[in-house]
Structure 1
């Protein structure tokens, strides 16, 4: 009797059909879908662990991920009511990257690809939030984050999403977050393997320096999309 899996593997037209379909999907769509699943998982995991604190997103762009996190929390409130007390903070220049250092330059990270309208994003988020507390903070991180988390009354972070691409912006964001970190804080790094996978550049370098200086131990939870990685803070040593 012919093994049915061996038979199916010989149906070239089915293999070709699947290949044509997958090859034709825009990689950004694949990444964003997996990112949405990653955010859903992280909000769920922090909810069942009863982690208190706020959602901090650095690199809001058009607000899609920010809005998705709000939707996830609304749904999860049915099984974890405390999650409704989450405040959502989004940080972005809304003007692209500005002047990049030579170290931060990358062929894809340009103002043309990442500038957007803060007023449009604010309207979009307001429609989704419908009662939940959120705040969008415009400006380049070197300015908008310099007064620290306490200036915005942020004391604990439940989920931190770093989607700001470059070393300098990720470094500023993670440094800002240090006082808010607790055991159970999830940290999502959307571009961990950029710059040809170099650990000495980009988000990877910023995260390694953050771990070294902040007094935390982290564990990798899972990966997603085109280079996204999720960590959880397992211990804070200060």
Structure 2
């Protein structure tokens, strides 16, 4: 609030409300009219003083308007930020749950291997950035000192979907180059995660070209205790299962990460590849073990 020299109160301070501003303006105009009735010499100073006070009031009103506009923008920004933060939280929760399903499966598999005393290595087909692979190492490496961890990947993403993999109604949106992650980046992530390179084998290349006996001999690959198959497509799963056939033991765990993709239909994806594999190898029998997420299914080998 401001007090004029004649004792009149002028309510145009920063905290004044609009009604006070209006009252102040009326007082100013009354005083201006009275001043104009004075002799010119005495009224000139009073007029200048009033005009100065009018300018102060104008600036105060403008400042109040700007503050109100800024406050409105801040409130709108705060609302938008809260909505964005909520969306990020939901995405983070979904992402955590997405991997937690796999981590729970690995925990259960590790517990099973300890009790079942299954020898062999851990082998993952389709490692992408290594999230599942690194977690498997973290859990299983201390439990099984002789176990090695084999990462097989093209590091170029998925191949071009063909045949039944390319039928748009059932593709689960898989496409050429999806999940590409360079071997160099994977190696960097491996070191960052603290894996012992002496216990890790990396097989780079398309599965139908690299998964063979020559590769197995060159890398001293023997029995496989756990096979995590995360290659998504029917055509990619076939050479994986062919490679595993002589390397599985009774009790080994075979995990299909994409078992229920392609609308969970038995004639597509990994379900079809598995059925054809069993038909071609009647000595092999599977027993359902655990499911995880909406997509994954693990089996144990009951005969081979």
Q: TM-score, normalised by structure 1?
A: 0.81
Partner of 1:227: 295
Give the Å deviation of 1:112.
Answer: 5.0
> Given the alignment, which residue of 199, 212, 217 partners 1:133?
199
Q: Which runs of 5+ in 2 are unaligned?
A: 1-85
Q: Which runs of 4+ in 1 moved over 4 A?
A: 25-28
Partner of 1:57: 124
Q: In the alignment, is the contact (CA less than 8 A) between 1:66 and 1:125 conserved in 2? A: no
Q: In the alignment, is the contact (CA less than 8 A) between 1:104 and 1:166 conserved in 2? A: yes
Q: Which has the higher mean CA deviation after the structures are superposed, 174-183 or 208-217?
A: 208-217
Partner of 1:95: 156
Give the Å deviation of 1:86.
Answer: 0.4
Deviations 1:5-59 (A, max 9, x none): xxxxxxxxxxxxxxx99x9346443221110110121122112211110111000
> Given the alignment, which residue of 98, 114, 120 partners 2:179?
114
* Aligned counterparts of 2:178 and 2:96: Cα–Cα separation in 1: 16
* Aligned counterparts of 2:298 and 2:200: Cα–Cα separation in 1: 23
Structure 1 position 161 matched with structure 2 position 228: yes
* Aligned counterparts of 1:98 and 1:169: Cα–Cα separation in 2: 8
> For residues 126 and 212 of structure 1, do their structure 2 counterparts lie closer, same or farther at Cα, with a shift above 3 Å needed?
farther
* Aligned counterparts of 1:30 and 1:111: Cα–Cα separation in 2: 26
Structure whose alpha-carbon radius of gyration is higher: 2
Partner of 2:239: 172
Structure 1 position 152 matched with structure 2 position 213: no
> For residues 30 and 111 of structure 1, do their structure 2 counterparts lie closer, same or farther at Cα, with a shift above 3 Å needed?
farther
CA RMSD of aligned residues (A): 2.1
* Structure having greater relative contact order (Cα 8 Å, sep ≥ 6): 1
Q: Which runs of 5+ in 1 are unaligned?
A: 1-19, 78-82
* Aligned counterparts of 2:198 and 2:137: Cα–Cα separation in 1: 8
Partner of 2:102: 35
Higher helix share: 2
Deviations 1:64-121 (A, max 9, x none): 111111100134x2xxxxx110011111111111222131122521245311111111
Q: TM-score, normalised by structure 2?
A: 0.64
